[in-house]
């Protein structure tokens, strides 16, 4: 099951926005500075979260494809398929 890129990135951005604004408020910064820093941090968190989810999805898809290929090769009919296409080198394998 693949992860939803946009919803995770938005959740990460919202969480970082409020966290950064709270930290700025505790530090005694002005409201404008807190908001500006929190907005910049949220944008960076949105981009980083999106990239992280894309990377995780790529790993998951690769693992699913590899798992499917391993299951396909373990089927009782896999030996017949391998023998049928063993002699073809390059070009089309369609008969």
Cα atoms found within 13 Å of the Cα of residue 73, Cβ hemisphere only: 6
Mean pLDDT (whole number) for 25-31: 92
Q: pTM of the predicted model, to two decimals?
A: 0.67
Enter the DSSP assignment of 75.
S
Q: What is the three-class DSSP state of 1? A: coil
Asked if the model's pLDDT at residue 88 lies above 70, the reply is no
- What number is the average pLDDT over the span 34-43? 95
- How far, in Å, CA of 59 to CA of 69, rounded? 15
**Residue ranges in 1-95 assigned as alpha helix (H):** 5-27, 31-73, 78-84
Q: What is the pLDDT of residue 6?
A: 86
pLDDT at 46: 95
Distance CA(37)–CA(33), nearest Å, equals: 6
* pLDDT the model gives residue 37: 94
* pLDDT value for 24: 93
Query: What CA–CA distance (Å, rounded) separates 53 from 28?
Result: 34
């Amino acid at each position: 099951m693949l992860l939803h890129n946009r919803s995770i990135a938005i959740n990460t951005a919202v969480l970082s926005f409020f966290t950064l604004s709270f930290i700025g408020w505790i530090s005694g910064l002005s409201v404008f500075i807190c908001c500006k820093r929190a907005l910049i941090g949220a944008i960076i968190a949105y981009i980083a979260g999106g990239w992280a989810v894309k990377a995780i999805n790529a790993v998951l898809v690769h693992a699913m494809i590899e798992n499917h290929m391993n299951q396909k090769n373990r089927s009782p009919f896999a030996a017949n398929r391998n023998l049928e296409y063993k002699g073809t080198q390059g070009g089309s394998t369609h008969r």
